[in-house]
Amino acid sequence: MSRGSFSEKGYTLLLGCMAFAVLLAVTAVAMLGPLLVDMASAMDTTVPVAGQLVTTAAAAWAVTALMVGPFSDAYGRKPVLLLGTCFLAAGSLGMGLAPSFAVATGFSVLVGIGGGMVPPTCIALIGDIFPEARRPMSIAIITMQPGMSSVLGVPLAAVLGDFAGWRTPFLVLGMALLLATLILFVLVPYHRPPSTRLNLAGRLRQVATFPVTWYMAGTNILARTTWGVVVTFFPAFLIVTYGLKTMEVALPVAMVAVGATAASLLGGRIGRSAKRLSATAVLLLAAAVPGLGVFLLDGGQWFSVSLAGIFMLLIVPVTTVLMILLAEAGGASRGGPGRRHILQQLGRHRCGRGNRRRAGGPDRLWRPIVPAGRRHPGERPAHGIRSE
């Protein structure tokens, strides 16, 4: 899996295919929002209970995303990525055919597991084979897909569900995921490091040792959780509160998503700046105001839409910057060109001097939560990192 094996067009094509897979993965969960009311009616339950499908999928997504890194290190990016898209396809098709709420809940777990495997593995693949100059904007394009999902995927699912029933969007999405699996099978190179072993318990023990890993991973999870709440439940909120039909939420959702899509590109620019950690903290604080107001303030339909759009514009760059930091830290563990800058910045903000001495440097802190990087033949290991 070497950089020299790809041309510029090859990088662009691979990035486009990975972005397509992430778009479908996010849509598999996000499109539940406008379909919840119809699903609750068909399955003879309430909207809050049907909303637990989202909770189940999100919980499985979060747990899987935490665990998937060591598996992709040990067995290769390609098998993990393809397995994730297969899980997503099976879960989506299963939910479209589910005869009851209990069966749909089981398939939502499968969707969450697949969703937790695909985006982190795509980010790791970018860190493995993309040139350093391309990584920030490539990661920004991947993290832009939740916004694109709200612009394209969720409105299309709402329209399709209104015309053909709530099951149809799941079936169409499942077929699209099978197509994405086939394309990725052809394009993604396979490489399994012969010396890499699965050491999940060791990675998790290292995570527990250093608070910096919890700070960064915890902030990322919380930011993505608040994003997920708005993306998933905002369409149902519009239907229940303002009496909109399923198809009528397509325009408000798309307008909110415009802010999220532009915000990912903004996050890519912030991720290359020297004050990105300070900017991230400011964005988090500012996002709290519209985030609370979306569901609590009663100013009318378009007032709620405006608040949701502002919230997305503020919160999405946070997740983008954090993913860039994690990818750069993964590159740092390989001894890459940006190693000194990222390690000094992270160490200055989060690591005490005593911790750095005991750990052999802040580069070792990040190995539990980001997939390990590849070393080219003959390249010496980075200081403070043990070869597995």
User: For 91-135, what is each residue's pLDDT tens digit?
Assistant: 999 999 999 999 999 999 999 999 989 988 998 888 888 887 788
Q: Helix, strand, or coil here: 341?
A: helix
Average pLDDT of the residues in 302-325: 82
Distance of CA 315 to the CA centre of its chain: 13
144 pLDDT above the threshold of 90: no
Across 40-54, 83-97, 200-214, 276-290, least confident range: 200-214
Has residue 376 been placed in a domain?
no
Has residue 385 been placed in a domain?
no
Average pLDDT of the residues in 149-166: 86
Domain count, the chain: 1
Q: How far separated are the first and last CA of the chain, in Å rounded?
A: 19
- State residue 203 phi and psi, 5-degree precision: -65, -45
Q: Which residue has the higher pLDDT, 66 or 312?
A: 312
Q: Are 112 and 60 in contact (CB under 8 A)?
A: yes
Predicted pLDDT of residue 88: 96
| CATH number of the domain where residue 259 is located | 1.20.1250.20
Q: Helix, strand, or coil here: 387?
A: coil
Place of tokens 């909207």: 47
Amino acid at residue number 317: P
Has residue 181 been placed in a domain?
yes
Predicted pLDDT of residue 380: 40
Average pLDDT of the residues in 321-337: 55
The span from the CA of 30 to the CA of 172, in Å, is 15
pTM: 0.69
Predicted pLDDT of residue 235: 83
The span from the CA of 75 to the CA of 85, in Å, is 16
Average pLDDT of the residues in 223-239: 79
Query: Is residue 274 classed exposed, middle or buried when 0-12, 13-18 and 19+ CB atoms within 10 A define those classes?
Result: exposed
Task: Convert the pLDDT of each residue in 244-297 to its tens digit.
Answer: 887 888 888 888 877 777 777 777 778 777 788 788 888 888 888 888 888 888
Predicted pLDDT of residue 25: 93
- State residue 2 phi and psi, 5-degree precision: -105, 155
User: What residues contact residue 354 under an 8 Å CB cut-off, 6+ apart?
Assistant: none
Q: Are 265 and 144 in contact (CB under 8 A)?
A: yes
- Long-range contact set of residues 42-50: C-beta below 8 Å, sequence gap at least 24: 42/166, 43/100, 43/101, 43/104, 44/101, 45/101, 47/236, 47/240, 49/101, 50/101
Has residue 297 been placed in a domain?
yes
Has residue 378 been placed in a domain?
no
Domain limits for position 235: 3-189+199-366
Chain mean pLDDT for the chain: 76
341 pLDDT above the threshold of 60: no
151 pLDDT above the threshold of 60: yes
The span from the CA of 77 to the CA of 83, in Å, is 10
Predicted pLDDT of residue 281: 83
Q: At 309, list the tokens.
A: 């759009």
Has residue 371 been placed in a domain?
no
- State residue 98 phi and psi, 5-degree precision: -65, 130
Predicted pLDDT of residue 247: 80
Has residue 380 been placed in a domain?
no
346 pLDDT above the threshold of 60: no
Ranges of H-type helices in 131-199 = 135-143, 145-148, 154-164, 167-187
The span from the CA of 249 to the CA of 135, in Å, is 35
